[in-house]
Amino acid sequence: MEILSKKNNYKSLIVNTLFILFPLSFILGNFFINLNIFLIILFTFIFYSQKLQNINFNLTDKLITLFFIYTFCVLLINFFGSWFKDDVFSSVIINKTFFYLRYFFLYISLRVLISQNILSLKWFYFSCIFFSIFVSLDVFVQYYFGKDLFGIEPVSKLKYSGVFGEELIAGGYILRFCIFAFFMPLIFNQNKNWKKFLILLLLLAIFISSILLSGNRMPLLLFGLFFLFFIIINSNIRKYIILLFIILTTFLSLLYFNNKNIKLNYDGFFGNVRSLISIYVSKEVSWQDDYAIKKTPYSLEIQCFYLVWKKNPYFGGGIKSYRVNATGCNTHPHNYYFEILDDLGFFGFLIFLAIIMSIYLSLFSRKNIFNINDNFNLKILPSFCLFFIEFFPLRVSGSFFSTNNATFIFIILALLISLIQFTEEKVNKETII
């Protein structure tokens, strides 16, 4: 999808530049993310407001619209409920609900720009790859020299955050933006398989080692899950699977066993998983045992989620209400599904699930969706992988409603839904012809 005609070149240049800068804005922080969102919405509606009439909004678009309408319904239900009870309603919930609307306009803007061939996705992919490599190398520099490229020292010997400073999110950032790198050699149709393999091996070494050094355990597991899927769908890579396994195992073992801090960090993670299983699966310890809950990381979040959800199981307390209603707990339950149940209740959760299921149904209704020899599939697959990773049910995550996460979620949704619709329309045209 390339930039449109020359007479509109300055318009497309502006919106493309803003879109390409999203990976950088995630590094710079929430102010720059919000500024980028505001500008891309503003220029889209100034330049391309008439294009809205040409968009064929599908079922998923309507469900996403319903989701945002529902958030305001929840706000009204809780506001008037507090008013009748003479309770003070939190201004945080009101403000967060209204400001959350910006992601709807971001989603609509990107749907317009992508579906009308205004955005150059190739340059966006390049931007993602460049900044994911940059963050990875910055983590290496911090690990080996004690300071990153900007003189930032690590806040912990267990985790290296690089350019993010005190925010220990480097692994999550790399995971989100590095996925595009594995599909670029395929998209460029490099015929020599050994060159593809060397590129793949180099990318794998850079990303997996930097995620490992970041100390972010869940991104490392999810990266492994992605790469397993990538090997399964890529027949050209499967022939090298034994060599890949040997190289990867050796590389990770050297990092793991030669650094006691890395070993301590990941040993602690596996210990936490075993404790969670003993409480919630094998039930060796009662989940109501306060000592066990406090001793096991994330157990407290699960208990808090359940206690908050029971207060308003059908409609929830409103966006960001968890931090208001969960006294003595964290600011969010560290899982998208739990958080939506708490903040938007069972009915909001159903709408959320309907959005996810509609996307999966649209994807799997297309024949040979995992055939990487199809150029259209190659455009869809990176966004699909990111979508799957982002909404992996067992994932420990940040807040669904936070600036960082919400922005990324609606960028990926806009990309994925637009590309699916684009391929469906092309297939229908070819069928008619």
Say if CB 419 and CB 379 are below 8 A apart. yes
**Per-residue pLDDT tens digits for 385-413:** 999 999 998 888 889 999 999 999 999 99
Q: How confident is the model at residue 10 (pLDDT cuts 50, 70, 90)?
A: confident
**Does residue 398 fall inside a structural domain?**
no
pLDDT digits (tens, 9 = 90+) for 63-97: 999 999 999 999 999 999 888 877 778 888 999 99
**Which spans in 365-402 are helix H?**
375-390
Residue bearing tokens 């020292």: 153
Whether 201 is in a domain gets the answer yes
Task: Assign 431 a pLDDT band (cuts: 50, 70, 90).
Answer: very low
- 175 neighbors 206 (Cβ within 8 angstroms): no
Instruction: Provide long-range contacts, Cβ within 8 A and 24+ apart, for 351-355.
Output: 351/63, 351/66, 351/67, 351/70, 352/67, 354/63, 355/60, 355/63, 355/64, 355/67
The domain of 146 spans 124-258
Per-residue model confidence (pLDDT) at position 322 = 87
Classify residue 319: in a domain, yes or no. no
> Of 178, 156, 179, whose CA–CA distance to 167 is shortest?
156
Residue 142 predicted with pLDDT over 90: yes
Considering the domain boundaries, does residue 239 fall inside one? Answer: yes
Which residues of 297-403 form beta strands (DSSP E)? Answer: none
User: Which amino acid, one-letter code, is at 204?
Assistant: L
**Measured CA distances, 212 to 159, 175, 224, 354 (Å):** 9, 11, 11, 34
Residue positions counted in the chain: 433
Q: What does the alpha-carbon distance between residue 382 and residue 186 come to, in Å, rounded to a whole number?
A: 11
Q: How far apart are CA 123 and CA 129, in angstroms?
A: 10
* Sign of torsion over alpha carbons 309, 310, 315, 320: negative
Reported as a pLDDT band with limits 50, 70 and 90, residue 102 is very high
Q: Which of 267, 261, 293 is nearest to 280 (CA)?
A: 293
Domain tally, the chain: 1
Kindly indicate the confidence band of residue 432, based on its pLDDT and cuts at 50, 70 and 90: very low
Residue 2 tokens, joined:
């390339």
pLDDT band at 376 (very low <50, low <70, confident <90, very high): low
Is residue 400 one of the residues assigned to a domain? Answer: no
Residue 3 within a domain: no
Q: pLDDT at residue 255 above 80?
A: no
- Label residue 110 by pLDDT band (50, 70, 90): very high
User: So what's the pLDDT on residue 232?
Assistant: 81
Whole-number Å distance between alpha carbons of 226 and 389: 8
- CA of 178: how far to CAs of 15, 43, 143, 284, 385, in Å? 23, 28, 20, 40, 11
Give the confidence band of 348 by pLDDT, cuts at 50, 70, 90: very high
φ/ψ region of 63 (left if φ > 0, alpha if ψ in -120 to 50, else beta) reads alpha
- Enter the tokens of residue 293: 């809950």
Amino acid at 282: S
* pLDDT score at 148: 93
Nearest to 411 by CA among 393, 386, 394: 386
Main-chain dihedrals φ then ψ at residue 289, nearest 5 degrees = -75, 105
DSSP 40-55: HHHHHHHHHGGGGGG-
- Residue 394 has a pLDDT of 84
* Residue 143 included in any domain: yes
Three-state SS at 370: coil
